[in-house]
Structure 1
C-alpha cells in the first residue's frame, strides 16, 4: 500500500532535522581541528581557505574531484544554516571569528 503524501512529508522533515544535526556535528568537529591547527589566526580570504579545504578533501578522497551533491555547497554564505559540507562547514562565518 502506498504512503499518503502527508506521511512522506513527515518523514522528510525528520530526515532534514537529522541531516541538520549531523552537519552541525561535522562542522564543529572540523572547526575544532582547524582552530587547533591555528587556522583561526590566519588572515586569509574565505574563498581561498575554502579552496584549500577542497584540495585537502580531494587528497583524502584519492584525488577524485567532485562535489558534495548539495545545493549551495560551493557558496560561502551562512544563510543556509549548517548546510555546508565538511569543507565549508569549518569556514562558515567570518574568517576573523575564532
Structure 2
C-alpha cells in the first residue's frame, strides 16, 4: 500500500529536523576544534578560511578535495554544497563554542 502524500510530507519534515540537528552537532564539534586551534583569534576572511577548511577536508578524503575554490575559482569543488551552507555551519559552530572574535 502506498503512503498518502500527507504522511510523506510529515516524514520529510521529520528528516529535515534530523538533518538540521546532525549539522548543528557537526558544526559545534568543528567549531570547538577550530577555537582550540586558535582560529577564533585570527582575523581572516570567511572565503579564505573556507578554502583552508576545504584543503583540510581534501587531505582527509585522500586527495579528492585537494583542488579548491582558491585554485580553481569555483565554489566547493566536488562536494555538492553551496558556499552558504558551509559558512553558515562554520558560523554556527564558532558561536556555539562560546567564544567569538574580539
Using structure 2 for the length normalisation, give the TM-score: 0.73
CA distance in 1, matches of 2:88, 2:12: 24
Shift of 1:54: 0.6
Per the alignment, residue 35 of structure 2 pairs with 35
Partner SS, residue 21 of structure 2: helix
Gaps of 5+ in 2: 66-77
Partner Cα distance (2:26, 2:41) in 1: 21
- Deviation of 1:89 (Å): 2.1
Which residue of structure 1 lines up, in the alignment, with residue 7 of structure 2? 7
* Residues in 1 aligned to 2:53 and 2:6: alpha-carbon distance in whole angstroms: 40
Structure 1 contact 40–97 (Cα < 8 Å) conserved: yes
User: Contact 1:34–1:40 (CA<8 Å) still a contact in 2?
Assistant: yes
TM-score by length of 1: 0.75
Matches within 5 A, 1:68-87: 69-70=80-81, 73-75=82-84, 84-85=85-86
Residue deviations 1:39-97 (CA, integer Å, cap 9, x gap): 00001111100000011001100111321x34xx322xxxxxxxx34x7622x269x93
Larger Rg: 2
2: distance between equivalents of 1:56 and 1:31? 14
Q: Which has the higher helix share?
A: 2
Compute the RMSD of aligned alpha carbons. 2.2
Count of residue pairs brought into register by the alignment = 84
Q: Does the aligned pair in 2 maintain the 1:58–1:64 contact within 8 Å?
A: yes
